[in-house]
């Protein structure tokens, strides 16, 4: 449906209140396109007073909210862990992500510039993160 607002160039009838929209008053116009499976098309022109359009829109939204209450479903479900353990777990996961980033940066270096001791140290930090996270809800499946 196309919707726009303009001044009435001639008198019209409001779809909502069935009263006359006088010439030169502002009105909301809706153009509704329809099509049958056979291919026949037609359009319906709807005209409202500006206030009637707002009133019927608000009423439609309130009616929909009553019929279909909005339930927030976006995103992941919140963890059932207590807040203090969840914060601790998140810190461990961030630390592990940092270690993985450092490992990737070290591996990308040319062979001559790579330091084996650094990779061993970072590998031990990964194992340490695994041990720490066991107490905060178990090891994530993606870590294996």
Query: Of the candidates 43, 67, 91, which is a domain's last residue?
Result: 67
Residue 70: per-residue pLDDT: 83
pTM above 0.75, yes or no: no
Q: What's the CATH code of the domain at 37? A: 3.30.1740.10
60 and 27 both lie in a single domain: yes
pLDDT in tens, 24-54: 999 999 999 999 999 999 999 999 999 999 9
Domain that holds residue 35: 2-67
What's the pLDDT band for 143 if we cut at 50, 70, 90?
confident
91 and 137 both lie in a single domain: yes
Considering its fold, how many domains does the chain have in total?
2
* Cα–Cα dist 104/119, whole Å: 10
8 in a structural domain? yes
Averaged pLDDT score across all residues of the chain: 92
- Residue 74 pLDDT > 90: no
89 and 63 both lie in a single domain: no
């Amino acid at each position: 449906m196309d919707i726009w607002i303009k001044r009435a160039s001639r008198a019209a009838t409001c779809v909502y209140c069935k009263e006359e929209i006088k010439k030169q008053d502002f009105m909301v116009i809706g153009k509704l396109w329809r099509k049958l499976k056979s291919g026949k098309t037609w359009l319906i022109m709807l005209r409202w007073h500006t206030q009637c359009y707002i009133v019927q829109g608000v009423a439609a939204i309130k009616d929909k909210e009553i019929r279909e209450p909005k339930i927030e479903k976006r995103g992941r479900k919140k963890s059932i862990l207590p807040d203090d353990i969840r914060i601790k777990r998140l810190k461990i996961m961030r630390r592990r992500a940092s270690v993985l980033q450092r490992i990737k940066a070290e591996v990308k270096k040319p062979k001559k510039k790579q330091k084996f001791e650094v990779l061993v140290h970072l590998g031990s930090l990964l194992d340490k993160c695994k041990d720490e996270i066991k107490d905060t809800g178990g090891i994530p499946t993606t870590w294996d």
